[in-house]
Amino acid sequence: MKIPVNTGRPYTVTVERGALDQVGPLAAQLKRSGAKALLVSDSNVAPLYGDRVEASLKTAGFQTRRFVFPAGEEHKRLETVMDIYRALAEGGFTRTDFLVALGGGVAGDMGGFAAATFLRGMDFIQVPTSLVAQADASVGGKTGVDLSFGKNLVGAFHQPIAVVSDPEALSTLPQRYVNDGLGEVIKHGCIADPALFEALEEGAVLEDWENVVARSVAIKRDFVEADTRDTGRRMILNFGHTCGHALEKLHRFQGLSHGEAVGAGMLLACRAGEKLGVTAPGTGERLRRVLERYGLPTEPGFSVREIVEATALDKKSDGETVRFILIKDIGESLIRPMTREELLEALE
Ligand SMILES: NC(=O)c1ccc[n+]([C@@H]2O[C@H](COP(=O)([O-])OP(=O)(O)OC[C@H]3O[C@@H](n4cnc5c(N)ncnc54)[C@H](O)[C@@H]3O)[C@@H](O)[C@H]2O)c1
Ligand SMILES: [Zn+2]
């Protein structure tokens, strides 16, 4: 499946079984033969898929180099970016060359950031291999790294020239990362796609990753295209994230994955919405059953007051008002500005 994305510079997301072998041919449609490609990947993914991707680039006429960093969020930092710059400089890369980020969201965010900043911007191709990366991080153009005092604090908007997603790569992804990614997929169903949500209710998604990834990409694309700089409608993608981020903070970013936190956050939002008379009665219960089915927690584990207090420092909040995302029903979402007091009342 080919999904066109029309942000700043348009590009195509290819979602196809076996697409890992298509990276070279797809790059050949965009870059001149003989250009250099730096393959940036982590220590788990490089041994699994690095050779295939590199071989396909070589066969398509590109010169390749490989940069492998130790897997894990703790390596999504400026020190690793510095090492990528070094590999680019030592390899004599110029602005006509390109970078290929192969791996999960960490490889994509950090490889993308290195590409956004080296020589003030070079092309990059994203080859996402985790569900989070395929269904969420590969669309939207946000790149960046963490600082010791906060996640994703340094970054840039930089669109890839192509995204190549191979759903077959998900077969080696550890289960907990599959569940983590399903948090965002469930979110996409909730905010915009009743059919995707029903497929999740029936369990049909587990046999059809290609469709799940493609639908997720199309939904995120629709919100991002409407608002590439993340100021208006794109906020809807934040469904479940106000409370979700608060929960991650309360858990000190340990023991609770982002997808799990978003799941619990969406459930809180549904319960608040039902109480406010905005969300159709029974929606929270449908969501709870889906979260349970995919092993995502349904109890936040903290009091409502603690959660609301922890939303105070959210990047997406401005002063005392929270732009809270609610759904009217599965597939229909809206932005509702609320004070923290109102939020507390609705959640209690
Ligand atoms: N840019 C965005 O819009 C955006 C959106 C969502 C998340 N993110 C970022 O993405 C990151 C989380 O993504 P993630 O969960 O993919 O993290 P990750 O890149 O650390 O991948 C998770 C783990 O799975 C492994 N892995 C990946 N693909 C595999 C495969 N096919 N087979 C076996 N193992 C595989 C990785 O080595 C890692 O250990 C966070 O840093 C987050 O901030 C960015
Ligand atoms: Zn998220």
pLDDT for 317: 56
* % of residues, the chain, pLDDT over 70: 97
Q: How far is the C-alpha of 204 from the C-alpha of 214, rounded, in Å? A: 15
Shared domain for 105 and 206, answered yes or no, is no
Q: How far is the C-alpha of 334 from the C-alpha of 219, rounded, in Å? A: 15
Shared domain for 255 and 182, answered yes or no, is yes
Q: Average the pLDDT over 10-14 and give the result.
A: 96
Averaged pLDDT score across all residues of the chain: 94
Shared domain for 105 and 7, answered yes or no, is yes
Q: Would you give the DSSP letter of residue 277? A: T
Enclosing domain of residue 15: 2-172
Q: Count the domains in the chain.
A: 2
User: By mean pLDDT, which of 48-52, 149-153, 225-229 is the weakest?
Assistant: 225-229
Nearest Cα residue to atom 34 of ligand 1: 173
Q: Would you give the DSSP letter of residue 280? A: P
Q: Average the pLDDT over 185-204 and give the result.
A: 94
Mutate to test the pocket of ligand 1, among 130, 157, 172 (most ligand atoms within 8 A of CB): 130
Domain end position, chosen among 172, 191, 226: 172
Helix then strand then coil, % of the chain, to nearest 5: 50, 20, 25
Shared domain for 198 and 281, answered yes or no, is yes
Position 107 pLDDT exceeds 60: yes
Q: Average the pLDDT over 203-231 and give the result.
A: 85
136 CB near ligand 1 (under 6 Å): yes
Shared domain for 250 and 294, answered yes or no, is yes
Shared domain for 52 and 104, answered yes or no, is yes
Position 182 pLDDT exceeds 90: yes
User: By mean pLDDT, which of 133-137, 207-211, 302-306, 309-313 is the weakest?
Assistant: 309-313
129 CB near ligand 1 (under 6 Å): yes
Shared domain for 315 and 232, answered yes or no, is yes
CA of 241 to the centre of ligand 2 (A): 7
User: By mean pLDDT, which of 268-277, 308-317, 334-343 is the weakest?
Assistant: 308-317
Domain end position, chosen among 172, 187, 219: 172
**Which among 121, 77, 70 has a CA at the least distance from the CA of 99?**
121
CA of 208 to the centre of ligand 1 (A): 20
Domain end position, chosen among 117, 141, 172: 172
Ligand closest in space to the Cα of 144: 1
pLDDT for 254: 83
The model scores a pTM over 0.85:
yes
Q: What is the CATH number of the domain that holds 251?
A: 1.20.1090.10
Q: How many helices (H) and strands (E) does the chain have?
A: 14, 11
Shared domain for 167 and 179, answered yes or no, is no
44 CB near ligand 1 (under 6 Å): yes
Strands 2-5 and 11-15: antiparallel
pLDDT tens for 283-325 read: 999 999 999 999 999 988 899 999 998 987 655 556 678 889 9
Mutate to test the pocket of ligand 1, among 5, 40, 41, 44 (most ligand atoms within 8 A of CB): 44
Shared domain for 101 and 211, answered yes or no, is no
C-alpha neighbours within 13 Å on the C-beta side of residue 268 = 32
Shared domain for 121 and 186, answered yes or no, is no
Q: What is the CATH number of the domain that holds 168?
A: 3.40.50.1970
pLDDT for 7: 82
- The torsion of the CA quartet 17, 109, 104, 131, rounded to 10 degrees, works out to -60
pLDDT for 207: 79
Ligand closest in space to the Cα of 259: 2
**Which among 19, 247, 248, 222 has a CA at the least distance from the CA of 139?**
222
The ligand 1 atom nearest the CA atom of 169: 31
CA of 336 to the centre of ligand 1 (A): 30
Shared domain for 222 and 165, answered yes or no, is no
Shared domain for 11 and 94, answered yes or no, is yes
pLDDT for 229: 61
pLDDT band at 230; cut points 50, 70, 90: low
pLDDT for 316: 55
Nearest Cα residue to atom 18 of ligand 1: 104
45 CB near ligand 1 (under 6 Å): yes
CA of 105 to the centre of ligand 1 (A): 4
